[in-house]
Amino acid sequence: MVVAAGEHLHVLQEEDSSKRRQILDGARKVFMDLGFDGASMGEIARAAQVSKGTLYVYFADKCALFEAILEQEALQHGQVVFTFDPARDVETTLKEFGRAYIQLLCRPGGGSAIRTVMAIAERMPDVGRRYYARVLDKSINRLSNYLKAHVACGNLKIDDCDLAASQFMELCKASLFLPFVFQAAPAPSEQRMTEVVGSATRMFLAAYRTK
């Protein structure tokens, strides 16, 4: 009887998780198509193919839904981007990080969360601050810690690793991210991303690698 009850609970948890993902997928599409202000709980319920009653069981309002989507964005960044190993050489690590970072930012739908946050950050600054802390600042901190390890062992000479980490990430975005996020150009090709990240890595190491 205990085993059967446990199995039943596991099934319920899986169904709950599946329903939540279904709602978030629908909400993401609505936010992408209509923006934060244009989205409504009714539109989200229709896109997710659930009743409004079911929607409110999982999320109190569209702010809570949007926060959950940003949380997913932060998890994706953590899973894809942060693979720093201090034992690996700097050039290889920077190139791999740079490519992974740009691929993540410029993936299909990848600009929608940033555009939506930028649109509402002035009147909802807490949302903007949380997104920056969970996604962007965390990326800078992890790269900065990697750089500090290589400063300590003499491979790099950097006075401000937080600044250097930000500089490298901006170099990787040059000519790629802004045209993409403002929908002035399609997502860059793999070849173009490799070229830009390679150039960023050469510039970075020319400035900071010890002679």
Does position 5 have pLDDT exceeding 70, yes or no? no
Domain residue limits, the chain: 1-59, 69-208
Q: What is the average per-residue pLDDT within 32-37?
A: 84
Lowest-confidence pick of 23-27, 161-165, 175-179, 203-207? 23-27
* Reported pTM: 0.76
| Sign for the pseudo-dihedral over CA of 138, 65, 23, 42 | negative
Is residue 21 over pLDDT 70?
A: yes
Question: How far is the C-alpha of 157 from the C-alpha of 84, rounded, in Å?
Answer: 19
Give CATH for domain 1-59. Answer: 1.10.10.60
For 114-137, write each residue's pLDDT tens digit.
888 888 888 889 888 988 888 888
| C-alpha span between 89 and 85 (Å, rounded) | 9
Which CATH topology does 69-208 take? Answer: Tetracycline Repressor; domain 2 (1.10.357)
Average pLDDT, the chain: 87
Angle between helices 62-80 and 110-120 (to 10 degrees): 130
Does residue 4 or residue 155 have the better pLDDT? 155
User: Residue 109: pLDDT band by 50, 70, 90 thresholds?
Assistant: confident
Q: What angle do CA 31, 187, 70 make, to 5 degrees?
A: 35
For 126-174, the pLDDT digits (tens) are 888 988 888 888 889 999 999 999 999 999 999 999 999 999 999 999 9
- 179 to each of 9, 54, 168, 186, how far by Cα in Å? 48, 38, 19, 8
